[in-house]
Structure 1
Amino acid sequence: MWAFLDGEFVEEKDRHIKLENRGLTFADGLFEVIRTIESKILFFEDHFSRMQKSAIHFDIDLPYCSEYIKNAAHELIKKNGIEDGELYLELTRGTDLHRDHRYPPKRTPSTFFMLALPLRHIDRENWKKGVKLLTYPDLRHKLCEHKTINLLPNVLAKNYAYSNGGYEALMYREERNYRYVTEGGSSNYFMVKDGVLHTPEIDNILPGITREKVTKIIHGLGYELHERRVGLEEFLTADEVFLVSTVSRVMPVHSIDDVHFDAPGTITLKVQEAYEKIFFSFL
């Protein structure tokens, strides 16, 4: 398998990243996951723009422009023969031989690499029948609006869900005995109550690309949508719940812990159908 590393295409045997790279020693970096379908790259500009904004925020040099990386991505997909899959982009602050917590000198080059990976398997029935969520406390830092590679809390949440028969974790924070939903290990959430949709506001959660697209779809369909702090109890008493992500697209939810829903609900199905039209329009 080929990879794109610091401006060059390299085969697996030639991939060399120093063990002192700050991505390994400090999780000091950013990443993006982008869906590909029949060699088409979905929403590339949205994903790359998010990485650029976070790179500026954290003062990490991103030495390539969008067009250059998009062209490299197409070439990488062709080299690996993966038409339906995922692009993984990672940017780190580079190699620091002294492993100093402070930023290395400005002249230190950053590290950028890109992988073209096979698509993770999802049972097709999940989109028809829905999936199970398990609640899990949100243990993360205060920088969740950026897609950093510091993902241990997300890994713990997702693994807890998988290990207990769930598809994804429904993470929540607690403040003055009030528990409110944030997001999933790699998903954003929407709920429906009395024909009105609600989704957690962007308050230390990731502004998901799919979330943004779905928000526009909901408005386009003429539904009322509130972006606000949504209580966990509200999700547990909702009429419909669905999750969205790059890989899961629009996924109905049939249960949260021991609470069950009819899935897919009427509104969920309409949003799902509208998103699928956009998704397959790339073909």
Structure 2
Amino acid sequence: MIVYLNGQWLPQDQAMIPIEDRGFMFADGVYEVVRFYNHHPIAMDDHLHRMQTSLDRVRIQYPDDLPPLDVISRKLLEHNDTPDASVYWQVTRGVAPRKHKFPPAETTRPTVLAVAYPQHAFDAAAPVTPLKAITRPEIRWAYCAIKSISLLPNVLDAQAAVDAGCDEAILVREDGIVTEATARSVIITEGKTLLTHPLDGRILDSITRRIAIQLAQEAGYIVREDYFSVDRLRSAEEILAVGTTTEIASIIELDSKPVSHGKPGPIAVDLFERFKQHVAKTCNVK
């Protein structure tokens, strides 16, 4: 695999980062993931904007002399002969002696990494992916709108889900409000109404969530961005989990109890069909 690191195209095993990189020492950096289908990205402009927003919020300046991340991404696919991929971008504050405060920006160059991970090709006949989930206490920091590489709470909860024989953990605040999952946004259904946590900074502004909301509204569903409790989560007719690599999936079991009779429900099936049509049109795939 060829990766991009600080202006160089390198075999993965030759891409080296100094031990004092602040991403390694402090998780002082941000990231983004873009899905490509047959060389075509989904919502590239939105991903670029969200990446820039994260960089601005943590006060990291992307190097002016490097190509834009969308250009790097397309060349990565060419270098790896990978038309279908999830491209991971990571930008850290760079290499500096280990001190908590920011190092001088004029002498510290950010580290820029991009990796293309192969993904399945578009399949118009693909069914909705069924997932099993558990609930876990929300232990993440208060700035989840920043796509930070500091993901230890997510890692711990994701492993708790695996230990329970599940695929995902849905996070619940101390006051009983559901936020999102470790790597996916959560949408519940009550009749023809879809409900998802509002963008108050405590969840990621998921781009696939945006697409799902738009598709649902175009289909005539009512979409509400509002707080909902874990009790409403457990009584929901359907629970959808959406994300860049997940697309639109269906939670069919929560805390060892079936959801939607233990199979993807009609709204999940409908929205996934609409999502596939959106991908086919946007990315010119069949």
With normalisation by structure 2, the TM-score equals: 0.91
Asked if 1:197 is matched to 2:194, the reply is: yes
Structure 1 gaps, min length 5: none
Structure 2 gaps, min length 5: none
**Structure 2: which amino acid aligns with 1:199?**
T
What is the CA distance between 1:67 and its match in structure 2?
Answer: 7.3
Structure 1 CA distance for aligned equivalents of residues 183 and 39 of structure 2? 23
Q: What is the 5 A alignment of 1:141-220? A: 141-175=141-175, 179-203=176-200, 204-220=202-218
Structure 2 CA distance for aligned equivalents of residues 3 and 60 of structure 1? 22
Which residue does the alignment assign to 1:102?
101
1:75-98 per-position Cα deviation (integer Å, ceiling 9, x unaligned) = 1111112222210100000001x2
1:159-183 per-position Cα deviation (integer Å, ceiling 9, x unaligned) = 11122111111111112xxx11111
1:9-36 per-position Cα deviation (integer Å, ceiling 9, x unaligned) = 2223432211100000000000011112
2:90 match: secondary structure: strand
Q: How many residues align?
A: 277
Asked if 1:223 is matched to 2:233, the reply is: no
Structure 2 CA distance for aligned equivalents of residues 133 and 106 of structure 1? 43
Asked if 1:241 is matched to 2:249, the reply is: no
Structure 2 CA distance for aligned equivalents of residues 170 and 65 of structure 1? 41
**Structure 1: which amino acid aligns with 2:189?**
V
2:10 match: secondary structure: strand
Structure 1 CA distance for aligned equivalents of residues 166 and 52 of structure 2? 34
What is the CA distance between 1:127 and its match in structure 2?
Answer: 4.2
**Structure 2: which amino acid aligns with 1:174?**
E
User: In the alignment, is the contact (CA less than 8 A) between 1:134 and 1:256 conserved in 2?
Assistant: yes
Which residue does the alignment assign to 1:2?
2
**Structure 1: which amino acid aligns with 2:101?**
R
Structure 1 CA distance for aligned equivalents of residues 82 and 129 of structure 2? 28
- Runs of 4+ aligned residues of structure 1 deviating over 6 Å after TM superposition are none
What is the CA distance between 1:64 and its match in structure 2?
Answer: 5.0
**Structure 2: which amino acid aligns with 1:104?**
P
**Structure 2: which amino acid aligns with 1:213?**
I
Which residue does the alignment assign to 1:117?
117
Structure 1 CA distance for aligned equivalents of residues 127 and 162 of structure 2? 17
Identity, % of aligned pairs?
Answer: 29
1:122-169 per-position Cα deviation (integer Å, ceiling 9, x unaligned) = xxx994462211111111011111110000000111111122111111
Change (3 A) 1:129 1:95: closer
1:132 match: secondary structure: strand
User: In the alignment, is the contact (CA less than 8 A) between 1:126 and 1:252 conserved in 2?
Assistant: no
1:99 match: secondary structure: coil
- The answer to which of 263-272 and 151-160 deviates more is 263-272
With normalisation by structure 1, the TM-score equals: 0.92
- The answer to which of 153-162 and 129-138 deviates more is 129-138
- The answer to which of 58-67 and 155-164 deviates more is 58-67
What is the CA distance between 1:68 and its match in structure 2?
Answer: 2.9
What is the CA distance between 1:258 and its match in structure 2?
Answer: 2.5
- The root-mean-square deviation of aligned C-alpha atoms, in Å, is 2.2
